[in-house]
Structure 1
């Protein structure tokens, strides 16, 4: 049988399989090739590019870290400076220093304004009050009793109570006294305003009518048990600080105003005593306190 030529031009043996015909080198088709595969020529280039990218990323991170450290350092510096300035300012603000004239005046006003609360009732209305009778004779009135706090409308005649209510009267304190001879009875009422300015506004509107004023307080079982509105002979008031001090007086035997001749009221020792007692209590409440020379006491 004649040999046939393969597509490569080489003669092929008869009986050669189709798989053998596809391998011109004659190697078996089922065997793995022993030829070693080599890396491409651009592998080194890719490696170097990757390294450069890593280096650039690391350098960028270092730059960001430096910026972050600078920003944090700046913030800390500014915060420290603010704290330092605040500490210095607080020191100069709170350190002891001499009081200014305005501060001294405010200290006096605040001290006087809180006396009606800070003081006990027995200090607002002392047990004995000095007064002057006829011919300026010095005598002492004795306290009979202290009434509970009441509203200004309830403790004063309606014309006066309404005026004080409009100007924000806080409360009314009252106590009753008897003179040294036990002949006269007096009720003193302290109307408390929020400040001296309000008190001035009130006193500008108050009437000088001596028939209206504070309502008397009677204490049963005492020499003042018959002292009521009809027994009032005269009334008056005086302003002191944020207070309006009202005073009224009458006879201990219960005589009414209508039962006493007008000339007797005008010339009686009762009225000088009543006004003197009211003025004394007003003086106690508004007496200017001793002001410390410095903001933190006596040492600047």
Structure 2
């Protein structure tokens, strides 16, 4: 089919073939349509802004709640810490515990010279004050190996923790006195143990002799008497004999009763027990003496 020829218009100019759209004017949108489109777009933008504002408001509210809860927790914690740590008067129970704890740790916390002083005063004949001298301190040992069997069984039942021993001589070096400090779990255990100890002045702590000193001959056979005194969680045992090696059997009973030997031993053991069990100064408040 031959190609379509351009048409000739009445004015002599050629026109475009039929069906051709070239040169046609495009349709222009109505002004009202543009305004509606702009209004729709503006509405969408306002809705997006509103949604953003609502989201921001919700977010800020949640953050405010979280911060408020966190602040309240911090304030409550700070208040609790302040109330817990502020200085206040000690209660009776706290004072009693302070005393008990201080006494119970003395056997470890104190140096040897405080548990067993180098010199201890006692009253001799005519109540004249004299001084016993410490000859030596034995190594720490178990309770059951430092005492006689009847006493060891009682201490073992009550959970005796350890035994500290030292030997003294009187001012004239006539008597040798071994002092043994049995450390119990607490005062209740000490009370139970003391109630079960045998009433026999021939059994108790075993003597400790130190070679090369006047106590060299002080052994089990030389013990004249034994005894004990209690303080806090401690039972302070003592045993005494002559430094010249005399045995118990060789000394008449009357001489034992009238001798200053046993009062000297009792005085030395009593002073050690009182020192260990003496109540400490208790602060009035939880942080010293200022509440």
Q: What TM-score results when the alignment is normalised by the length of structure 1?
A: 0.81
Does 2:114 correspond to 1:128? no
Decide which of 87, 90, 114 is 2:78's aligned counterpart.
87
Does 2:189 correspond to 1:198? yes
Does 2:282 correspond to 1:282? no
In the aligned structure 1, how far is the partner of 2:130 from the partner of 2:75?
65
Does 2:198 correspond to 1:207? yes
Decide which of 248, 264, 267 is 1:273's aligned counterpart.
264
Deviations along 1:128-173, one digit per CA (max 9) or x if unpaired, are 1122345655332111111121111221223323332332322211
| Structure 1 stretch displaced more, 246-255 or 288-297 | 288-297
Whether the 8 Å contact between 1:232 and 1:248 is mirrored in structure 2 is yes
In the aligned structure 2, how far is the partner of 1:258 from the partner of 1:35?
151
Give the 3-state SS of the residue equivalent to 1:122 in structure 2. Answer: helix
Q: Which runs of 5+ in 2 are unaligned?
A: 6-14
In the aligned structure 2, how far is the partner of 1:200 from the partner of 1:36?
121
Q: Mark the CA change 1:159 to 1:40 in structure 2 (over 3 Å): closer, same or farther.
A: farther
Does 2:140 correspond to 1:149? yes
Q: Mark the CA change 1:57 to 1:258 in structure 2 (over 3 Å): closer, same or farther.
A: farther
Does 2:167 correspond to 1:185? no
In the aligned structure 2, how far is the partner of 1:73 from the partner of 1:217?
77
| Structure 1 stretch displaced more, 197-206 or 171-180 | 197-206
Q: Mark the CA change 1:77 to 1:28 in structure 2 (over 3 Å): closer, same or farther.
A: same
Larger radius of gyration between Structure 1 and Structure 2: 1
Q: Which runs of 5+ in 1 are unaligned?
A: 1-15
TM-aligned CA deviation for residue 193 of structure 1: 1.9
Q: Report 1:1-300 matches (<5 A).
A: 16-17=1-2, 20=4, 27=17, 33-35=22-24, 52-53=43-44, 55-133=46-124, 136-300=127-291
Q: Mark the CA change 1:39 to 1:162 in structure 2 (over 3 Å): closer, same or farther.
A: farther
